[in-house]
Structure 1
Amino acid sequence: MRIMIVDDHSMIRAGLRMLLSSKEDIEVVAEASEGDEGIRAALELRPDVVLMDLSMPHGKDGLTAASELKEKLPDTAVLILTMHDDDEYLFRAINAGAGGYVLKSAPHEELLAAIRTVARGDAYLYPTATKRLMNEFIGRMTRGESKDVFDTLSEREKEVLELTAKGYGNKEIAEQLIISVKTVETHKSNVMEKLGLKSRPELIKYAMKKGLLHFE
């Protein structure tokens, strides 16, 4: 298996390379420190699996990069390797097209099993995440719920959706929410992808339908 590692911490990349290179069936073909660099390398080398960190402060974040990679290289599996044991990140990773999600705190054997699983084209989630997903699915089936896609948005994404629909620019939104412009752009991209929207007019129409445009 030809593996690429995308993580902003050089020590983590070095540790992963040492672990993976010790296995006869695995070859590490490239490393990258952020999403854009990872996408360029993947397009050139076409690895079987990309190990992708979520939080990379410089350049493109892991979720955005994973989504672009799956669009451009559908045969390359993306395995999210992160410290975030969080349902919101998990669902967003799945929506972005990731084939698996494993924690950095997992034992080496679990990471290797996850890599081999997604390389076969199967999905991998760490055990406690699988249990939570099953419980949520069973709960919805029991209640007969049909979840609105809007409910999958995080509270921050809903705030960005509302402010964007009201005509605020990225810098203004960043100032109001006390976050970076890059974070605003990421939230906006995730909102558009989750809701299946292609343009600002579509976003405004959707916000009106949801009753979000209440001006003071």
Structure 2
Amino acid sequence: MAETIRILMIDDHPMIIEGYQNTLQFTKKEHQILDINIANNCDEAVAFMDKSVKNNRPYDVLFVDISLPPSKDGLMNSGEDLAIYARDVLPKAKIIILTMFDESYRIHNIIKTINPEGFLIKSDLTSSELASAFQAVLHNPPFYSGTVNSHLRKTNESDIVIDDKNRKILYLLSQGAKNKSLATHLNISLSAIEKRKKQLKEIFLVDDGQDETLIKEARKKGFIL
């Protein structure tokens, strides 16, 4: 019996998306029909997700690249934000994260905040691994690539978890925003901004107290581009 699988692929590199599509179409099971939509940025992805819910044709699988340009309204700053949104509006969808980041802090944070059914590091990725991940996520999740599993086995790694507001603070600081602007944008008080910035500097071991150092350390660990 034919099984239609609705897929949304989100990546800002068209050639990468084309490669994913070709691999899945070539390796799918005989009874599987793949209905694939493509989004190249956060705004397109949100529009596709909302439309799928409205039409009562929710996606079964989402492929989400972490490194995406922010949405025009500034509410979505990465694929991580999109995946969190997807968990809310598409609770039954299986999420496969794809990223170039192979830093332990980033990997742990994504697993804590999203708990994806699939997690692939692009430098690990081959056609056969993508095909295996897709089928495993459908029938026996989770599927993590070798680099992800390697980091998860390192139990001595610091367990850094950056929540949504703190990630937005890091992003806005990297864009040159000042405290007053941060408070307005996030709708929290100046004292709350200061408290969160202090917490972030402790997490990233910033000794000199400078925002520039915080941005540098967060960038090194893959939390901002």
Which TM bucket (shorter chain)? 0.5 to 0.7
Tell me how far 1:99 sits from its aligned partner. 2.1
Tell me how far 1:49 sits from its aligned partner. 0.7
> Could you list the per-position Cα deviations for residues 66-103 of structure 1 after superposition, in whole angstroms to 9, with x for gaps in the alignment?
00001111100110112222223322322134222102
| Residue correspondences, number | 178
Structure 2 residue corresponding to 1:36, chosen from 39, 43, 46: 43
Are 2:102 and 2:147, in contact at CA under 8 Å, matched by a contact in 1? no
Question: Partner of 2:66 in structure 1?
Answer: 54
What stretches of structure 1 of length at least 5 have no aligned partner?
141-146, 162-169, 190-198
Tell me how far 1:32 sits from its aligned partner. 0.6
- SS of 1:5's equivalent in the other structure is strand
Are 1:20 and 1:28, in contact at CA under 8 Å, matched by a contact in 2? no
- SS of 1:46's equivalent in the other structure is coil
| 2:80 equivalent to 1:73 | no
Tell me how far 1:205 sits from its aligned partner. 9.0
Q: Which amino acid aligns with 1:32?
A: A
Moved more, 70-79 or 119-128: 119-128
Distance 1:38 1:6 in 2: 7
Greater RCO (Cα-Cα under 8 Å, separation 6 or more): 2
TM-score normalized with structure 2 length: 0.63
Distance 2:169 2:60 in 1: 35
Q: Which has the higher helix share?
A: 1
| 2:103 equivalent to 1:86 | yes
Are 1:54 and 1:81, in contact at CA under 8 Å, matched by a contact in 2? yes
Tell me how far 1:211 sits from its aligned partner. 7.7
Question: Partner of 1:96 in structure 2?
Answer: 114
- SS of 2:116's equivalent in the other structure is coil
- SS of 1:200's equivalent in the other structure is coil
Question: Partner of 2:16 in structure 1?
Answer: 12
Tell me how far 1:121 sits from its aligned partner. 5.9
Question: Partner of 1:107 in structure 2?
Answer: 126
TM-score normalized with structure 1 length: 0.65
Distance 1:211 1:15 in 2: 41
Q: Which amino acid aligns with 1:115?
A: F
Task: Provide the identity percentage.
Answer: 23
What stretches of structure 2 of length at least 5 have no aligned partner?
201-208, 210-225
Are 1:21 and 1:28, in contact at CA under 8 Å, matched by a contact in 2? no
Moved more, 125-134 or 49-58: 125-134
| 2:211 equivalent to 1:207 | no
> Could you list the per-position Cα deviations for residues 155-174 of structure 1 after superposition, in whole angstroms to 9, with x for gaps in the alignment?
xx59947xxxxxxxx5x773
- SS of 2:176's equivalent in the other structure is helix
Are 1:3 and 1:49, in contact at CA under 8 Å, matched by a contact in 2? yes
Are 1:67 and 1:96, in contact at CA under 8 Å, matched by a contact in 2? yes
Tell me how far 1:120 sits from its aligned partner. 2.9
> Could you list the per-position Cα deviations for residues 179-199 of structure 1 after superposition, in whole angstroms to 9, with x for gaps in the alignment?
xx9xx89xx98xxxxxxxxx6
What do you get for the CA RMSD once the two structures are aligned?
A: 4.0
